[in-house]
């Protein structure tokens, strides 16, 4: 009996996560799609399965797993979307947490450290931009396969240089930044003295060869590549991305209360920051930590993991790719202390803070989804009879969204796509949209623009989006 109790104590983080599974599923299944959830590859897709879009580089990405999910939920959108997506993301996050625990043990961290760090990762508010999103299974499974590829790299002897590149390729097809694990695996193994310097140099060359092979494959295979302007690297954008990355990775604070102007509350933001600060100070405040070979290698791995996003687009969702390395840095910081008493007290404060932030961000995500649903229902109700073509006029908001937590109303509405979902994609078939600036005469301009649009027989109806309100204009004969 005592042995069983001791075993349970050694794996308390795993038990805690298992207890959290039904809670996490319950809250995430209440979150409805917003913003690009409606336009991503994981949204309902009604095209035949065996098409090039489902297997090759098409559009902005080469992510066949995303397109397969879109195909699956397209079979029955009302039943599967977004429930199926949420289940994949939640279980992917749980798998990442379990893999992190195993990784820490494999790297010879103490069981107490592994438990604390696993819970730190699992409940960290920085994961929520991915865990609560509908289309982020690529984030969580890219990390999961990345960790698996490292474990294969360090544990497999026979066939290592076949299995490791194969796992890297699967990781990359999940999400492009997974390709970085071809460099991370040898570097992290070298940092923990799992491989010698000579092997590190050889495997690093192999890692670059894997990257070259991936791009060669893209060049050879049929493709239809679209380069979006926001993915083009720019120096100012890179600097901003680095600031976002450092802030979201190493500072725990209620992002909504700090950054979202309609709901800003600096007092509550400060309280959340103060509660989390002692634990972060204990683990990152030891100067000796930064002189270690392990620390330097982990920090470089962190930068490599997020570099594709730093060079192109970085949002809170993209923090997830590097959080396993932040967790490893936390583990190193904890192991610097012989007595975990102070760490335990500050960690409890951190978890209280994290849970409060998690609850708030989840609530905001649910409200954003419900806003889009209400707007869709209003548009359908006011339109009255089905129409095939709609011209959507959006009056721009004077504030921006905050990740997937707080979206502006017209983005929650999915630029009209939420209304398609409400009719089970029966109507409208075509939605064209335009955005006009908000001023005191904006609504009158929208009405005038709508009337002109109806003179074109292409459109049978006009929807005007003004904050959370939908107004409908139709010709009398329609």
3-state secondary structure of 265: coil
CA distances to 73, 81, 115, 248 from 121, in Å: 29, 27, 10, 13
Alpha carbon distance 119, 103 (integer Å): 14
pLDDT digits (tens, 9 = 90+) for 328-377: 999 999 988 877 777 888 999 999 999 999 999 999 999 999 999 999 99
pLDDT digits (tens, 9 = 90+) for 272-286: 999 999 999 999 987
Alpha carbon distance 50, 48 (integer Å): 6
Q: Above 60 in pLDDT, residue 101?
A: yes
- C-beta separation of 81 from 73 below 8 A: yes
Largest CA distance in the chain: 81
CA distances to 100, 115, 246, 247, 317 from 126, in Å: 16, 19, 11, 10, 8
- Residue 36 is predicted with a pLDDT of 86
- Considering only 15-29, 41-55, 197-211, which range has the smallest mean pLDDT? 41-55
- C-beta separation of 168 from 179 below 8 A: yes
- Considering only 202-216, 218-232, 292-306, 351-365, which range has the smallest mean pLDDT? 218-232
- Residue 477 is predicted with a pLDDT of 54
Domains in the chain, ordered, with CATH? 2-365 (no CATH), 367-473 (3.40.50)
pLDDT (mean) for 85-99: 97
Could you tell me which residues are beta bridge partners of residue 406?
Answer: 402
- C-beta separation of 418 from 374 below 8 A: no
Q: Above 90 in pLDDT, residue 476?
A: no
Residue whose token pair is 């959830």: 37
pLDDT (mean) for 413-442: 93
Q: Above 80 in pLDDT, residue 42?
A: yes
- Residue 184 is predicted with a pLDDT of 98
pLDDT (mean) for 129-141: 93
Torsion of CA 297, 300, 301, 306, to 10 degrees: 170
pTM above threshold 0.85: yes
Q: What is the mean pLDDT of the chain?
A: 92
The percentage of residues in the chain with a pLDDT greater than 70, rounded to a whole number, is: 97
Torsion of CA 132, 136, 139, 142, to 10 degrees: 130
- C-beta separation of 301 from 188 below 8 A: yes
Alpha carbon distance 173, 303 (integer Å): 21
Query: Beta strand 389-395 with 461-466: parallel, antiparallel or unpaired?
Result: parallel
């Amino acid at each position: 009996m005592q042995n069983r109790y001791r075993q349970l104590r050694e794996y308390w983080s795993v038990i805690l996560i298992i207890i959290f599974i039904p809670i996490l599923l319950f809250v995430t299944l209440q979150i409805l799609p917003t913003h690009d959830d409606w336009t991503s590859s994981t949204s309902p897709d009604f095209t035949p399965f065996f098409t090039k879009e489902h297997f090759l580089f098409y559009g902005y990405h080469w992510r066949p797993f995303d397109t397969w999910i879109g195909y699956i939920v397209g079979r029955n959108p009302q039943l599967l979307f977004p429930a199926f997506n949420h289940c994949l993301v939640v279980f992917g996050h749980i798998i990442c947490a379990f893999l992190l625990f195993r990784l820490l043990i494999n790297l010879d961290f103490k069981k107490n450290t592994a438990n604390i760090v696993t819970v730190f990762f699992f409940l960290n508010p920085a994961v929520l931009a991915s865990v609560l999103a509908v289309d982020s299974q690529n984030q969580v499974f890219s990390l999961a396969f990345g960790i698996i590829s490292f474990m294969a790299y360090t544990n497999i002897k026979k066939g290592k240089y076949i299995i490791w590149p194969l796992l890297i390729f699967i990781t990359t097809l999940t999400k492009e930044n997974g390709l970085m694990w071809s460099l991370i695996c040898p570097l992290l193994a070298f940092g923990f003295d799992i491989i010698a310097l000579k092997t590190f140099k050889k495997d690093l060359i192999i890692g670059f060869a894997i990257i070259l092979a991936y791009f060669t494959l893209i060049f050879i295979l049929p493709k239809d590549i679209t380069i979006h302007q926001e993915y083009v690297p720019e120096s100012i954008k890179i600097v901003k991305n680095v600031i976002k990355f450092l802030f979201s990775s190493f500072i725990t604070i209620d992002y909504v209360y700090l950054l979202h102007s309609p709901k800003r509350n600096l007092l509550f933001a400060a309280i959340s920051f103060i509660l989390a600060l002692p634990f972060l100070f204990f683990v990152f405040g030891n100067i000796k930590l930064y002189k270690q070979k392990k620390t330097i290698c982990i920090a470089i791995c962190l930068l490599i993991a997020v570099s594709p996003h730093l060079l192109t687009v970085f949002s809170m969702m993209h923090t997830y790719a590097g959080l396993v390395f932040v967790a490893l840095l936390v583990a190193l910081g904890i192991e610097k202390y012989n007595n975990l008493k102070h760490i335990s007290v500050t960690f409890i404060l951190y978890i209280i803070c994290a849970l409060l932030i998690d609850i708030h961000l989840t609530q905001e995500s649910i409200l954003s989804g419900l806003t889009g649903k209400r707007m869709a229902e209003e548009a359908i109700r006011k339109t009255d009879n089905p129409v095939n073509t709609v011209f959507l006029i959006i009056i721009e908001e004077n504030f921006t969204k905050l990740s997937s937590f707080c979206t502006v109303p017209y983005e929650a509405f999915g630029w009209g796509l939420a209304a398609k979902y409400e009719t089970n994609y029966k109507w409208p078939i075509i939605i064209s949209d335009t955005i006009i600036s908000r001023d005191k005469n904006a609504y009158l301009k929208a009405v005038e623009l709508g009337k002109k649009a109806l003179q074109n027989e292409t459109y049978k109806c006009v929807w005007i989006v003004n904050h959370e309100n939908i107004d409908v204009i139709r010709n009398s004969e329609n």
